[in-house]
Chains A and B, each alone.
Chain A
Amino acid sequence: MEKINIPIVDNLFPSLVIGTRILLFGKIFTGRDAVLPKLVALIENNKLDETGIDLKGAVIFHTAVSPAGVGPTSSNKYDIESTIPALSKAGVKIHLGKGRLSPETIRTLHEYHSIYAVIPPVTALLESKILERRVAAFPEEGMEAFHQLRVEGFPCIVAAAHGKSLYEEGSESP
């Protein structure tokens, strides 16, 4: 397992090939269907700086944050997958979720030097690895607000990187 501190620096990327198991340490953002399109709208209107959110080297985990805990939602839902290009362009380095992404999204990730990792749906385990949680933006969305978590060893596997994906025909999980 490769340990990765957040924010992520670009020179880390050559080693993050598909099938690499990683543990994430530091502050990660969370967002899903309701809030990610709003975040993209902020970026497109040059208003992200007003929120104090810095996406350079960031990780965005596709999840709600509720008293029940956290766990990946399907990243291939329209409102989530459609935000990946703009968020990658804005500096997000790891999109963390579950499910197969389209070949077009995988190409876009490569273009912006971002990757996609999948995280097992293990809410009870993840709960023990969350040190802090706070709402970073859009509190009106409740559990779907844009949250920031401080985590210690979130486990995941790189599923799409450098234009390649574990979901392609012919690829095998290492």
Chain B
Amino acid sequence: MNQNLNDIQLKVKEALIRASTVFSADKKSVLSRAIETEPSPNVRWVLETILENADTAEKTRRPTCDDTGIPHLFLEVGGQNSVTPDILRQIYQGVAEGMQELPCRPMAVKGSDVQRLEQSMGLFDDPAALVPAPIRIQLVEENVLRLHVLMQGGGPEIRGKTYRVFHQHKMSAILDEIVAWAIEGAGLLGCTPCTPAIGIGRTHYEAAALMLEAMIHGRFDQQNAIEQEITERLNQSNIGPLGLKGQTTALATFLRVGPQRASGVRIVCLRLCCCVEPRVASVLL
């Protein structure tokens, strides 16, 4: 194996651990601002505890959450870079090593199709037995080979939704639907404050892929008007951190709008990222 491929493995491993243990600076800032504005001592305590946990996780390189999630990989390729089978093998090897070193929760389910669905044969002990979701590769203008590693927990999957919206040629029709779904989900999520990640595309696959892009590129300190409106409307729901009421149901909203179909329908994918998400790290390979 040449040095370059070894480097890829190591970089991917470190990216997975960073995604699982580090809150971004913009996320910490928005949490700190929420603590200053919440009137309830209990709600402030919850937010302070979430921040303290983030600091502890970063210092100790321990996971922020015990549901360490399913690895999702998004690879950007541009310029003269290429993706070879060897590079993909090293990426997967880096993911496996990261899951073992962290360690991630060993939650790969054993057995045949039916046995896995019924979870009747138990789980593998090795965290690295967890197979990442299918990798997505995208051509970009930059001269880079850049990997984004996302760790997707189960709670947000339970409260997520990909469905059609009849837009009636009004953005407000789409927004109303998204906000209704988000309020319903946030009340049951438990791990609020959330960050809704939203993709709007032509198909369910495309909407889900755009939602992942929103998680990768979204910034807590850079919000467009639509994102701000969704966040504000969610925060008027009085669900609050851990569902204990309050003004901070959502910290921000991350939205990605893709190409649209000539039709009265839009496919919307909403994922209510929990308070430790988005768990994402990016690395140049």
State the A residues within 8 Å of B (CB): 19, 21, 34, 63-64, 66-77, 97-100, 118, 120-125, 127-128, 140-144, 155, 157, 159, 166-167, 171-174
Complex CA–CA separation, A20 to B134 (angstroms) = 45
State the B residues within 8 Å of A (CB): 21, 40-43, 45-46, 49-50, 52-54, 56-57, 60, 62-68, 102-107, 119, 122-123, 125, 127, 154-155, 158, 187-191, 240, 242-246, 274-276
Complex CA–CA separation, A17 to B107 (angstroms) = 36
Return 22 A-B CB contacts under 8 Å, by A number: A21-B45, A64-B66, A72-B191, A73-B67, A75-B190, A76-B188, A98-B242, A100-B188, A100-B190, A118-B244, A121-B275, A122-B49, A123-B62, A124-B53, A124-B54, A124-B56, A140-B122, A143-B105, A157-B242, A173-B40, A173-B42, A173-B240
On whether A166 and B103 interact (CB within 8 A), knowing A67-B127, A68-B66, A121-B274, the answer reads no
> Counting chain A CB atoms within 10 Å of each CB, which of B56, B60, B189, B243 scores highest?
B243
Complex CA–CA separation, A144 to B245 (angstroms) = 31
> Counting chain B CB atoms within 10 Å of each CB, which of A72, A120, A124, A171 scores highest?
A124
Chain B residues lying within 8 Å of A140, measured Cβ to Cβ, are 122
How far apart are A71's CB and chain B's nearest CB, in angstroms?
A: 4
Complex CA–CA separation, A161 to B53 (angstroms) = 27
Q: Which residue of B lies closest to A174 (CB)?
A: B42
Instruction: Let me know if A72 and B62 touch, CB within 8 A.
Output: no
On whether A74 and B105 interact (CB within 8 A), knowing A34-B119, A173-B244, the answer reads no
Chain A residues lying within 8 Å of B63, measured Cβ to Cβ, are 68-69, 123-124
Chain A residues lying within 8 Å of B43, measured Cβ to Cβ, are 173
Chain B residues lying within 8 Å of A121, measured Cβ to Cβ, are 50, 53, 65, 190-191, 274-276
Complex CA–CA separation, A88 to B104 (angstroms) = 32
Complex CA–CA separation, A110 to B229 (angstroms) = 40
Interface of A: prevailing SS: loop
Chain A residues lying within 8 Å of B21, measured Cβ to Cβ, are 124
Instruction: Let me know if A125 and B56 touch, CB within 8 A.
Output: yes
Chain B residues lying within 8 Å of A166, measured Cβ to Cβ, are 243-245
Q: Which residue of A lies closest to B242 (CB)?
A: A118
How far apart are A2's CB and chain B's nearest CB, in angstroms?
A: 13
Q: Which residue of A lies closest to B47 (CB)?
A: A120
Instruction: Let me know if A159 and B243 touch, CB within 8 A.
Output: yes
Complex CA–CA separation, A76 to B106 (angstroms) = 23
Instruction: Let me know if B53 and A125 touch, CB within 8 A.
Output: yes
Instruction: Let me know if B68 and A68 touch, CB within 8 A.
Output: yes
Chain A residues lying within 8 Å of B103, measured Cβ to Cβ, are 67-68
Chain A residues lying within 8 Å of B187, measured Cβ to Cβ, are 100, 167
Complex CA–CA separation, A73 to B243 (angstroms) = 14
Instruction: Let me know if A68 and B244 touch, CB within 8 A.
Output: no
Chain A residues lying within 8 Å of B104, measured Cβ to Cβ, are 68
